[in-house]
Structure 1
Amino acid sequence: MKKIMFYCQYLSGMGHLVRSSQIVRSLANYFQVYFITGGPEIPGFELPPQVEVIKLPALWLEAGKFTVGDSLFGVEEVKAARKNLLIAECDRIQPDCLITEFFPFGRHKLLFELIPLVEHLKATSPNTKIVSSLRDVIGKESEPEEAETICNLMNEYFDLLLFHADAKFQKFSDSFARYREIKAEVIHTGFVTQPAIGNFASANMWDDASGKIKILASIGGGRIGSEVLETLIESSAILSQKLPHVIKIFTGPFLPVEKVAKLRKLAGDRSHIQIETYTSQLLDYMNTADISISLSGYNTTMNILSTGVRAIVVPIGHECQDKEQLHRTQKLEKLGIVSSICPEDLSPLHLAEKVINCIQIKILNNLQKFDLQGSENTAIFLQKFLSKAPALSIV
Structure 2
Amino acid sequence: MNDKPRLLFHVQHMLGIGHRIRAERIALACVDVGFDVTLMEGGVPALECDTPPGLTRVQLPSARSADAAFSAVVDADTGQVVDDAWRARRLAASLAALETSQPDILLVEGFPFARRAFRFELVPLVQQARTMGARTVVSVRDILVARSDLSKVAQIAELTRLLFDTVLVHGDPGFAQLVDSFPAAAVVADRLIYTGIVSPPPPMPISDRPNLEQAGEVIVSCGGGAVGGALIRAAVAARPLSRLADRTWRILIGPNLPPEDRAVLDALPDGIIAESARHDFTALLAGAALSISQAGYNTVADLAVTGCPSVLVPFGGPGGKETEQPMRAKLLAAAGRVVCLPESDLTPGTLAQAVDQALVLPRQGQSPYRLQGAAQSAAALMDLLGGERR
TM-score, normalised to structure 1, is 0.89
Cα gap change, 1:70 to 1:180, in 2 (>3 Å): closer
Give 1:363 shift. Answer: 2.0
Cα gap change, 1:157 to 1:360, in 2 (>3 Å): closer
Cα gap change, 1:344 to 1:172, in 2 (>3 Å): closer
Give the one of 135, 138, 141 matched to 2:147: 141
Flag structure 1 segments of 5+ consecutive residues without an equivalent. 390-395
Number of residue pairs matched?
378
SS in 2 for 1:163: strand
Query: Which segment drifts farther, 18-27 or 147-156?
Result: 147-156
Cα gap change, 1:334 to 1:11, in 2 (>3 Å): same
Cα gap change, 1:188 to 1:72, in 2 (>3 Å): closer
Give the one of 75, 80, 92 matched to 1:84: 92
Flag structure 2 segments of 5+ consecutive residues without an equivalent. none
Partner of 1:393: none
Instruction: Check if 1:106 corresponds to 2:114.
Output: yes
SS in 2 for 1:182: helix
For 1:130 and 1:9, the matched residues in 2 are separated by 17
For 2:99 and 2:252, the matched residues in 1 are separated by 41
Cα gap change, 1:183 to 1:238, in 2 (>3 Å): closer
Give 1:183 shift. Answer: 6.5
Give the one of 230, 236, 240 matched to 1:237: 240
Q: Which amino acid aligns with 1:244?
A: D
Q: Which amino acid aligns with 1:286?
A: L
For 1:47 and 1:226, the matched residues in 2 are separated by 32
Query: Which segment drifts farther, 286-295 or 70-79?
Result: 70-79
For 1:334 and 1:188, the matched residues in 2 are separated by 22
For 2:362 and 2:144, the matched residues in 1 are separated by 32
Partner of 2:55: 51
Partner of 2:355: 355
For 2:76 and 2:55, the matched residues in 1 are separated by 27
For 2:32 and 2:358, the matched residues in 1 are separated by 40
Instruction: Check if 1:65 corresponds to 2:64.
Output: no
Cα gap change, 1:258 to 1:42, in 2 (>3 Å): farther
For 2:80 and 2:211, the matched residues in 1 are separated by 45
Maintained 8 Å contact 2:228/2:257: no
Give the one of 236, 247, 250 matched to 2:249: 247
TM-score, normalised to structure 2, is 0.90
Cα distance per residue 1:260-305 (max 9 Å; x no partner): 12x214xx25242111233222222222211100000111111111
Q: Which amino acid aligns with 1:218?
A: S
Q: Which amino acid aligns with 2:238?
A: S
Q: Which amino acid aligns with 2:177?
A: K
Partner of 1:22: 25
Maintained 8 Å contact 2:158/2:187: no
SS in 2 for 1:54: strand
Cα distance per residue 1:197-218 (max 9 Å; x no partner): 3245767475xx57xx401011
Q: Percent identity?
A: 27
Query: Which segment drifts farther, 10-19 or 219-228?
Result: 219-228
For 1:118 and 1:383, the matched residues in 2 are separated by 19
Instruction: Check if 1:281 corresponds to 2:280.
Output: yes
Partner of 1:392: none
Give the one of 194, 207, 216 matched to 1:188: 194
Maintained 8 Å contact 2:254/2:276: yes
SS in 2 for 1:309: coil
Cα gap change, 1:187 to 1:70, in 2 (>3 Å): closer
Give 1:8 shift. Answer: 0.6
For 1:16 and 1:242, the matched residues in 2 are separated by 33
Give 1:72 shift. Answer: 10
Give 1:67 shift. Answer: 1.7
Q: Indicate the RMSD between aligned Cα atoms, in angstroms.
A: 2.3
Maintained 8 Å contact 2:12/2:109: yes
Cα gap change, 1:46 to 1:284, in 2 (>3 Å): farther
For 1:165 and 1:92, the matched residues in 2 are separated by 32
Give the one of 122, 128, 133 matched to 1:120: 128
Give 1:71 shift. Answer: 4.2
Maintained 8 Å contact 1:21/1:48: no
Cα distance per residue 1:69-92 (max 9 Å; x no partner): 444998333322221011111111
Cα gap change, 1:186 to 1:284, in 2 (>3 Å): same
Give the one of 80, 90, 102 matched to 1:94: 102
For 2:347 and 2:52, the matched residues in 1 are separated by 40
Cα gap change, 1:48 to 1:304, in 2 (>3 Å): farther
Query: Which segment drifts farther, 138-147 or 156-165?
Result: 138-147
For 2:128 and 2:177, the matched residues in 1 are separated by 32
For 1:353 and 1:49, the matched residues in 2 are separated by 49
Partner of 1:161: 167
Maintained 8 Å contact 1:135/1:164: yes
SS in 2 for 1:53: strand
Maintained 8 Å contact 1:44/1:279: no
